[in-house]
Amino acid sequence: MAMNWTKASLAKTIDHTMLKAIASEQQIVELCAEARTHGFASVCVNPFWVPLCVKELHGSKILVCTVVGFPLGANNTEIKAAEAALAVKQGADEIDMVINLGAIKSGDWKLAEEDIRAVVKASGKARVKVIIESCYLTEAEKTKACEAAMKAGAQFVKTSTGFGSGGATADDVKLMKKIVGDKLKVKASGGIRSYHDAIQMLEAGADRLGASSGVAIISELPE
């Protein structure tokens, strides 16, 4: 799937991300300004910053994406659903939720699926991306996690939080794409820092990239 990427076309695949604990209001405002300047798909921020991003991006086409049950996925389902519902009420367009990894490791796929379904339901019209944190899963578990996301009605599966023991790999993206086919989209995130990393993930089948280095990634391209 080799494409002639331009700054603009590549920017549209990137969720411009700032999830570090110590991000300041000024840094979030700058994140939104960069997203406007370059035309990124969205800004991806912690839930506390959703109202500020909605305000900063008002009148633009840039989406506001936030995270739920982040970064461990170990919150109770009711809390994840409430967190998603509040974020959507405050104006979030996309919800990146962490799957219940403890349930997966215990073989409780019913719980893992119901957890996603509750967030999907609570998110209403907002898109839900399910972070499977692939660095911790076997191939069989990655497969079943993607299947759970499909059954539960999510719109995306996503590789990583960026806070785990590893980030996105082209092999994981290929596997996830193979499982979900055209039913869901795939987001690669975690460790994507250069144009080379980005293209590798897109050619492996990713539809969206989560990156805090979005500006650096597209700077390697002509307009």
- Measure the CA–CA gap between 44 and 66, rounded to whole angstroms: 5
* Residue 207 designated active-site: no
Q: Which of 15, 80, 93, 96 is catalytic?
A: 96
Work out the number of other CB atoms within 10 angstroms of the CB of residue 90.
Answer: 17
The structure tokens 């921020």 sit at: 45
* Residue 89 designated active-site: no
| Encoded amino acid at 188, one letter | A
* Residue 105 designated active-site: no
C-alpha closest to that of 161 among 193, 122, 127, 188 = 188
C-alpha closest to that of 68 among 138, 127, 11, 153 = 127
Q: Which of 144, 177, 187, 197 is catalytic?
A: 187
Rounded CA Rg of the chain: 16
- Measure the CA–CA gap between 80 and 17, rounded to whole angstroms: 20
Q: 3-class DSSP state for residue 97?
A: strand
- Measure the CA–CA gap between 183 and 78, rounded to whole angstroms: 27
Tokens matching residue 34? 């960069």
C-alpha closest to that of 147 among 119, 124, 113, 185 = 113
Q: Which of 158, 177, 185, 197 is catalytic?
A: 158
Active site residues: 96, 158, 187
